[in-house]
Amino acid sequence: MADASEPKLALLNSESHVAVGAAERLRARYSFVPVREADVVVVLGGDGFLLQTLHEAMQADDPKPVFGMNRGTVGFMMNDWKEAHLPTRVANAKLFTLHPLLMTATTVSGQVVTSPAINEVSLLRETRQAAKIGISIDGKVRMEELICDGVLVATPAGSTAYNLSAHGPILPLQSDLLALTPISPFRPRRWRGALLPQSSVIEFEVREAAKRPISAVADQLEVRDVAHVCVVTDKSTTLTMLFDPDYALDDRIVLEQFSH
């Protein structure tokens, strides 16, 4: 019988055979409840499945804290896989809260699509033609025209993902900043992006949208042929992730800055 002080756990897993096998082992060892009755949701898979789970959690009135264990590939946002002492690990875990971005994309045809993003919102050229994008911050035009393959806005939690691959800065979790990072900039060639307060309203105006079509991507949702994109931090939504205290996400972000 579970200790009354132990959190009630739900269990979700990706469809990979590694995650399925791990879930079977945990279910044979521990008792789990449905997500709606749980104190914490244990997630088995990789970073992609964790993002999917967090997006689904945002649909609930009271999103449950998530404790991920890596049964995928990179697993940067996941704890190490260990079968033993799961309830104790969860009870002793370190909390990290985050606010997602909210993307509002307007297409050339006038369709408006809103979507949250935990890692980043990115604008990407759809064809061989380079993208031409105007950038405004808090209603002020800061760059009349960026010629590039694309541009992205990353949260601290997402700064080590696509943002880092695009040579953007790694942001400490407590920094209250967003990274605005160009993807293969052509003009201005030497522009490397900007650090912005999380309170910023970031707007992208697509130049020559019919000739140079651009997609907007909020984590895993793509909107094609956009004309205008607005990105803000959604302070009304709070997500909670749990990490083992000896290897928390903020420690991983610091270590990533010293990796080769």
Collect contacts of 14-18 with beta carbons under 8 A, ≥24 apart: 14/44, 14/45, 14/46, 14/48, 14/49, 14/71, 14/72, 16/45, 16/46, 16/71, 16/72, 18/71, 18/72
Average pLDDT, whole number, for the chain? Answer: 92
Asked if 47 is an active-site residue, the reply is: yes
What size, in residues, is the chain? 260
- Give the tens place of pLDDT for each residue, 223-253: 999 999 999 999 999 999 999 988 766 777 7
Whether residue 203 lies inside any domain: the answer is yes
pLDDT classification of 102: cutoffs 50, 70, 90: very high
| Contact between 65 and 243 (Cβ < 8 Å) | no
Q: Looking at residues 24-36, what average pLDDT do you find?
A: 96
- Residue 41 is part of which domain span? 9-98+238-256
pTM greater than 0.75 (yes/no): yes
For the record, the structure tokens of 101 come out as 């971005």
Percent of the chain whose pLDDT exceeds 70: 97
| Contact between 250 and 173 (Cβ < 8 Å) | yes
pLDDT at 256: 73
Whether residue 4 lies inside any domain: the answer is no
| pLDDT above 80: residue 193 | yes
| pLDDT above 50: residue 1 | no
Residues 222 and 109 in one domain: yes
Residues 178 and 108 in one domain: yes
pLDDT at 173: 78
pLDDT classification of 3: cutoffs 50, 70, 90: low
Whether residue 1 lies inside any domain: the answer is no
Residues 135 and 195 in one domain: yes
Residues 211 and 129 in one domain: yes
pLDDT at 227: 98
pLDDT at 248: 64
**CA separation (Å) from 137 to 96, 109, 140, 158, 248?**
28, 24, 5, 20, 32
Percent of the chain whose pLDDT exceeds 90: 77
| Cα-to-chain-centroid distance, residue 198 | 15
pLDDT at 6: 81
- Give the tens place of pLDDT for each residue, 61-83: 789 999 999 998 877 889 999 99
Which residue is catalytic, options 39, 47, 225, 234? 47
The H or E element containing residue 22 is helix 17-29
